[in-house]
Structure 1
Amino acid sequence: MTSRPPKEAYTDAVWFRNETNTLFANAWIFVGTVHDFQQTGDYRTATCGNALLSIVRDEDGNLNALHNVCRHRGAELLEGSTGNCGKTIVCPYHRWTYAHDGSLRGVPNKVECFPDLDRSGYGLHPASVGVFRDLVFVNPEADADFESWIAPLQGKHWPHDLTAADVKEAIPLAYDLKCDWKVFVENALDGYHLAYLHENTLGGPLPGLNEWEPVGDHMIWHATEEGVRHRLPMKVREEAGNSGTIESASKTGYGGVYFLFPTTIIVPTPYGISISALHPTAAGRCRMTVRHWVGPRQSKDERKHIPGFDKSTGIISSDNWKTHPLETGDFQTEDVWICEKIQRGLESPAYTHGPLSNGVGAEDAIRWFHGTLDKHVT
């Protein structure tokens, strides 16, 4: 049986550095959708471990994954999370200029300063890009095998077409989380807490109504029809009424949570879909970005209603809570609250591991997650 990670895995800087240099040196992380790259020069940036990455659309419509670091003196090239770089990628330091495929196109004062420079040897280092159902993933390794990573999900039920007329993207959310990224993943895979922590929001389901299906390095949570009823917020259950929406959703077979190892959490429902990406920043700390596509009846910008949202920074943080999380009626706030409480407990000298449930649908998926970690963190 796979042993659980020691508490240091969630609190120790040396452990975090090892994760950065092993797991995240060759990890597939969600960076956006194909619809984010409409024009030549459109780009998105990402950080995976220590790697600064960019994905750029070229004039032929190809997506190129590159290390976002100038080959001259190491300056970060494209800034911000998204933008358009125009016809070329230009270093702001000395204006070394690169094509969208990363090849070095121009060096100012080359004759005087670099008479012997072979430009073909100083293109941007390549990374890898992969696309699955319009979702774009990037990996720092130039020869990373996307097909093997995504293959277990091929043929599985998938909830929503992001281009459907009745599904529109809302304004993304950004969370500052005072917990280790693994704490948040474990909570997302925990079927034991749904009826207790979320008693007044999700209201369940109880563990026996959860069905976890490992698919390679990934995991899908299926709920029984009764479990689907209990999983939805009370207001949604009431709105669904006798329309058949909930029942038909459970019969399609799509899960309540799709976890794509190591840091992507996809949560579909009959009325929308959200994609959360965790960004480890230090031992015991991470950020989370959430993109969500919703039905036409839902607000385009609900951030002002989310507890902890700071309109001056655009960040959602527990530092800004005005109401106790259990009184907000927001299950994501409840999850953030409990994950930060767990992190504080892990950092206590009194903490030692308690038992994980052996019950199917309770904490068995967490045990699977630990085994998957063992394969990738050396």
Structure 2
Amino acid sequence: MPQTIPPKPTRAEQLLPKECYFSGAWFEREHQELFSRSWTFACVVQDLPEAGDYKAVQINRYAMIVVRTKDGAIRAYHNTCRHRGTTIFEKDGNCRHGIVCPYHAWTYNVDDGSLRGLPKKELAFPDLKMEELGLHKGSIGVIGDLIFVNPQEVPQDDFEMWLGGMRDTHMWPHSLDGLSEKRPVRYDFGANWKAFCENAMDGYHLSYLHDKTLMGPDIEDQRWDAVGRHWVTFANPESDDRQNSHFTPIPGVNTSKPYPVVYQFFPNSGVLSSPIFFSAYTIVPVGPEQCYLELRTWMMPREQQDPAKKPKKPSSTSGHGYIMDDGKRYISIDTLSCHAMESLDFQIEDMWVCEQQQKALHSPMMKAGPMAAVGETALTWFQANILDFVPLDDPGMKMAAE
């Protein structure tokens, strides 16, 4: 069981042994002891404008439905029929007349998930107790326009407790109303999910791996705060951001602070915000050495962009990956038409370096070296929070960490 939130570390050190990044047994423990009780970004309130509008989302291993009820509330149900376990919804849509399983037409109420009806009930199920067979429920939390889901009906930590004061101390000023969403992107990684999270928190690499894309900021221009179990970083407002000058600022956002603010919601969701865009993402763990990043981004509509600010380089994801029927662009290293470091996409650069790091973990010579006193202490804090949920109980794991 999780204990008190670890304090912000005073020095950087690797706490997790490398086996935690490829062990199948450890991966199963993470799902049972961490993800089964975590809050994860699912969608935004603008996705559900009308009663019955729903999103079919993947919350780690849990297929979930996020739906707006007739009274305007937002509910979360597990996307699994209580009859034969069939996935009810494959795609987003509207179910104002009821949540209907495609297999045997069992029908559930939108407002509370209760079982409303089924064909041939008196003949096929004369003794059925319908009140016991409603959809399993999850929990909903909303911050800003973001909707988070917990797979438990009664979470161990309620949403406000989990936020740890984020709403009061580090809230972003963005509203998605009036903004235009770019095409969602899914990046498929051949790496452990924690490798990506730690890369996102690593400020030491920005000026080197991303010198042609993010162009900094250097570690002197960064600082980070611990908020609950979450991590927030932002660059020095006095630093020059050469990218933001290419786009029209979002009204109401302070343009004197040009660098994006990065929020890492523990364990595997996040936000990137700046005067010119707002992004939200989730890292979905697929296996011990596979995960994917789902990224959604909003900006000012194209027709409201200042032509004088038009960027001189093409969109970073143009020409990479492929577009599926769900409207998303899917990108992986093997779908690139160039080397990752020539892609003009910092996420692809991160994906590539995470995969390079993952490969090296299997070398008998690989052992974590010293960590940067400035730029990598957040990794230590992230790992301490992991260990609070999934302790090193196995003696072999403990020895590997020492």
TM-score in terms of structure 2 length: 0.83
Moved more, 132-141 or 289-298: 289-298
Residue number in structure 1 paired with 2:169: 156
Residue number in structure 1 paired with 2:289: 284
User: Compared with structure 1, are the counterparts of its residues 270 and 303 closer, same or farther at alpha carbon in structure 2 (3 Å cutoff)?
Assistant: closer
**CA-based RMSD:** 2.4
**Distance apart, 1:347 and its partner CA:** 2.8
Match of 1:373 among 356, 378, 386: 386
- 1:99 equivalent to 2:109? Answer yes
Distance in structure 2 (CA, Å) of the matches to 1:246 and 1:110: 60
State the SS of the aligned residue for 1:249: coil
Percent identical pairs in the alignment equals: 38
Residue number in structure 1 paired with 2:351: 336
Match of 1:172 among 165, 184, 196: 184
Residue number in structure 1 paired with 2:194: 182
Which residue identity is paired with 2:344? G
- 1:17 equivalent to 2:28? Answer yes
Which residue identity is paired with 1:357? A
Match of 1:354 among 338, 344, 369: 369
Distance in structure 2 (CA, Å) of the matches to 1:76 and 1:14: 27
**Distance apart, 1:238 and its partner CA:** 7.0
Residue number in structure 2 paired with 1:118: 129
Which residue identity is paired with 2:234? H
Match of 2:265 among 219, 243, 260: 260
State the SS of the aligned residue for 1:155: helix
Q: Deviations over 1:330-367 (max 9, x none)?
A: 222211111111111123333111122222xx101111
User: Compared with structure 1, are the counterparts of its residues 73 and 305 closer, same or farther at alpha carbon in structure 2 (3 Å cutoff)?
Assistant: closer
State the SS of the aligned residue for 2:135: coil
**Mapping of residues 1-378 of structure 1, within 5 Å:** 4-80=15-91, 82-100=92-110, 101-144=112-155, 145-165=158-178, 167-227=179-239, 229=240, 232=241, 234-237=242-245, 248-249=256-257, 256-297=261-302, 305-306=317-318, 308-311=320-323, 314-359=329-374, 362-378=375-391
**Distance apart, 1:110 and its partner CA:** 1.2
Distance in structure 2 (CA, Å) of the matches to 1:33 and 1:148: 21
The answer to whether the Cα contact below 8 Å between 1:21 and 1:49 also exists between their aligned partners in 2 is no
The answer to whether the Cα contact below 8 Å between 1:266 and 1:274 also exists between their aligned partners in 2 is yes
Which residue identity is paired with 1:221? T
User: Compared with structure 1, are the counterparts of its residues 367 and 14 closer, same or farther at alpha carbon in structure 2 (3 Å cutoff)?
Assistant: same
Which residue identity is paired with 1:343? Q
TM-score in terms of structure 1 length: 0.88
Distance in structure 2 (CA, Å) of the matches to 1:59 and 1:235: 43
What number of residue pairs does the alignment pair up? 361
The answer to whether the Cα contact below 8 Å between 2:247 and 2:276 also exists between their aligned partners in 1 is no
**Distance apart, 1:294 and its partner CA:** 1.1
State the SS of the aligned residue for 2:35: helix
Distance in structure 1 (CA, Å) of the matches to 2:166 and 2:353: 30
State the SS of the aligned residue for 2:162: helix
Structure 2 residue ranges without an equivalent (≥5): 1-8, 392-402
**Distance apart, 1:305 and its partner CA:** 4.2
User: Compared with structure 1, are the counterparts of its residues 247 and 56 closer, same or farther at alpha carbon in structure 2 (3 Å cutoff)?
Assistant: closer
State the SS of the aligned residue for 1:35: helix
Distance in structure 2 (CA, Å) of the matches to 1:102 and 1:256: 38
Moved more, 283-292 or 196-205: 196-205
**Distance apart, 1:137 and its partner CA:** 0.5
**Distance apart, 1:140 and its partner CA:** 0.7
User: Compared with structure 1, are the counterparts of its residues 285 and 62 closer, same or farther at alpha carbon in structure 2 (3 Å cutoff)?
Assistant: same
The answer to whether the Cα contact below 8 Å between 1:307 and 1:328 also exists between their aligned partners in 2 is no
The answer to whether the Cα contact below 8 Å between 1:211 and 1:221 also exists between their aligned partners in 2 is yes
Distance in structure 1 (CA, Å) of the matches to 2:298 and 2:273: 9
Q: Deviations over 1:284-310 (max 9, x none)?
A: 1111111101123469xx878435322
User: Compared with structure 1, are the counterparts of its residues 3 and 318 closer, same or farther at alpha carbon in structure 2 (3 Å cutoff)?
Assistant: closer
**Distance apart, 1:329 and its partner CA:** 2.7
Distance in structure 2 (CA, Å) of the matches to 1:132 and 1:311: 30
Distance in structure 2 (CA, Å) of the matches to 1:193 and 1:209: 13
State the SS of the aligned residue for 1:45: strand
User: Compared with structure 1, are the counterparts of its residues 49 and 202 closer, same or farther at alpha carbon in structure 2 (3 Å cutoff)?
Assistant: closer
Structure 1 residue ranges without an equivalent (≥5): none
Moved more, 345-354 or 213-222: 345-354
